[in-house]
Structure 1
Amino acid sequence: MKGNKTSIVAIIEHRVKEQVAGKIVKKIWPSWMWCHNYSTDGKGRLWVLWDPNEIHFDMVECKEQYIHGTVLAHTMRKKFNFTAIYGLHTIEKRKSLWTDLLSLQHNVQGPWICMGDYNAVLALEDRIMGNPVVQADIRDFNQFLVGAAMTEMRTVGRDYTWTNGHVMSRIDRAIVNSDWMQQYPQLEASVLDPYFSDHSHLCVKFDDPPIKPKPFKFFNHLAQHPEFLNHVKSAWGTQTATRLAPVWNKLKQVKWALKSLNNTEFAGVDTRVKSARQQLKDMQEKMRSMNTPSALFGAEKELRRQLEKWSTIEESVYKQKSRVQWLKLGDSNTAFFHASIKNRVSQNMIRSLVSANGNVINTEKGIEDEIIGFYRTLLSSTAKTLPAINLAVMKRGRILDRGQQLRLIAYEKR
């Protein structure tokens, strides 16, 4: 805990009796505050402890399989909902967990993370060397995620979180809602080494993502602009000074032309949508009286058209960024697309790497150097054999004759 600078922690399945729990907590964390769920069944499988100098935790609900509350981080000025989970060992006993969490979801506002030991697998590949996973094992968990509109947080580290020395399974998880993905897309859950436990610990670190310049992306709405083809033709017709890569240079000119068009005509789409909505609202407030001037009806119609235009563009941008293909435009899916974008960015982000010598690299510069060094070594070394390619088999297929080879070489020289 000290090595990870922990401010709040949930301890699960500790097997400590209520009579001695207070003494143990006071001895190990003398200045920390804590809560428990001994009152639910007497066994008290869950503790939540926090450093009051860093965190304020307000317990909202306590049941046999979870403790739920709100977290306010003083120094980081962040507020979110936190639920510590301990799922019981049978499918039937866990049904109340899914039901209670779904009911809880209706009252949760803002970012929410449910973290702990669910004692349930989510996919067929989440258990190895034991009884094969069947649909009954994963059905309730998956139905809960769909019903609560939640998703698993991106994890790094060990692939499996529990083992008895023979069977390995993934039963400890961090599950988050769309508000969490939108506010904290850069965060991930690290699956740490178990040390003396049969469970691996989960750790979420709060930090701010590095700010980098964004690369140019072509959005489909650009092609709808009346000056789109003129910009492309003008840029493509630009004479280039070099003959080495004329097509590449022309494409680069087109990219800059479209980037300029996008910045000029479509910059700040979110702001334009909000502005158009507010102007339409103000206009309709003026039209509440019976003696509304006829000129206002034309102005309102134009504002409606502008709002529809920019809302469609906004939704188109989010849909393209999210890469969700099974939803259509025009159904006001902007919030869903935005959450999908955040989830995809989080899943694709590299926050840490394990080097060849086993060291964990967390810094941006260290990750960059490790990746470059790996591929430099890989691509600069000569392979004596090609185990993935059978040359004898390849030679049985179609190959270029000498005439085709010469024509190809002549084309390259031109």
Structure 2
Amino acid sequence: MLCVKFYFSGSKYTLWNGRIDKACIFKRLDRILVNQEFLDLFPPSEVQHLIRQGSDHAPLHMSNSDEVPTVKPFRFTNFLSKHKQFKKIVEDNWKDDFVGNSFIELHVKLKNVKRALSTWSKEVFGNFFQQIATLEYIIKLREVQLQINPSVDNRAELSKVEMDLIKYVRLEEDFWWQKAGISGSKKET
């Protein structure tokens, strides 16, 4: 039998009973198991203990360290239109005193709106994938603080950051629903 120890990043513990003070329990229970064939296919794999969101166990994420993040161009996403400033941004940038061919005028207006929405989206929402990663990192830090000192204040700080994460996860969820091209209400399922 082959026993391989994967190095991990993230919290040292994968289980927390959700309690504070003396009733608090942290343990490392969860592990990754693989066979030799897997190791032959994915030698530089590493394990990450993700944050405990909605569970007492931390999910484990195994990734290949050769992954390279890619930068994507601006794409319109439906959640932009739900923001209170959206309509004003579009109206202000649609106005153009361009005189000439109607198709060129439309092209110029669309380009202006796209540029304005792209800039505005970065200012208001930022890169929500990066925001999620940052908030997950902050949650990891707050979890460590809670492990060291399971107090009401540390629990409140953790809860505050978790609420911020939920907001960005909902944006990400809307993004993926749109990207998948699924119509109808996603809340029904």
Normalised to the residue count of structure 2, the TM-score between the two structures is 0.52
2:88 alignment partner in structure 1: 230
Q: What do the CA deviations read for 1:133-170 (whole angstroms, capped 9, x no partner)?
A: xxxxxxxxxxxxxxxxxxxxxxxxxxxxxxxxxxxxxx
Give the AA of the match of 1:229. K
Cα distance in 1 between the residues matched to 2:178 and 2:159: 29
Determine which structure has the larger helix proportion and give its number.
Answer: 2
1:282 alignment partner in structure 2: 141
Unaligned runs of 5+ in 1: 1-58, 61-68, 73-78, 81-108, 110-178, 185-210, 332-414
Query: Which structure would you say has the larger Rg?
Result: 1
* Residue 297 (structure 1) shift: 5.5
The match for 1:244 among 101, 105, 116 is: 101
- What does residue range 305-324 of structure 1 map to in structure 2 within 5 Å? 305-324=163-182
Is contact 1:219–1:320 with CA below 8 Å preserved after alignment? yes
The match for 1:264 among 120, 123, 127 is: 123
Q: 1:285 to 1:255 in 2, by over 3 A?
A: same
Q: Does 2:114 match 1:255?
A: yes
2:14 alignment partner in structure 1: none
Give the AA of the match of 2:100. R
Cα distance in 1 between the residues matched to 2:184 and 2:88: 33
Give the AA of the match of 1:217. R
* Residue 226 (structure 1) shift: 2.9
Unaligned runs of 5+ in 2: 1-34, 46-61
2:19 alignment partner in structure 1: none
Determine which structure has the larger strand proportion and give its number.
Answer: 1
Is contact 1:235–1:254 with CA below 8 Å preserved after alignment? yes
- What does residue range 54-93 of structure 1 map to in structure 2 within 5 Å? 69=37, 72=40, 79=41
1:349 alignment partner in structure 2: none
* Residue 301 (structure 1) shift: 3.8
SS across alignment from 2:136: helix
Is contact 1:269–1:310 with CA below 8 Å preserved after alignment? yes
- What does residue range 83-232 of structure 1 map to in structure 2 within 5 Å? 214-232=72-90
2:31 alignment partner in structure 1: none
Give the AA of the match of 1:310. Y
SS across alignment from 1:218: coil
* Residue 275 (structure 1) shift: 1.6
Give the AA of the match of 2:107. W
Q: CA RMSD in A?
A: 4.1
- How many residue pairs are counted as aligned between the two chains? 132
Cα distance in 1 between the residues matched to 2:170 and 2:131: 12
Cα distance in 2 between the residues matched to 1:285 and 1:328: 35
User: Per chain length, whose mean CA-contact separation is higher, i.e. which structure has more relative contact order (CA < 8 Å, sep 6+)?
Assistant: 2
Is contact 1:236–1:250 with CA below 8 Å preserved after alignment? yes
Cα distance in 1 between the residues matched to 2:152 and 2:82: 35
The match for 1:273 among 132, 141, 166 is: 132
Cα distance in 2 between the residues matched to 1:215 and 1:291: 44
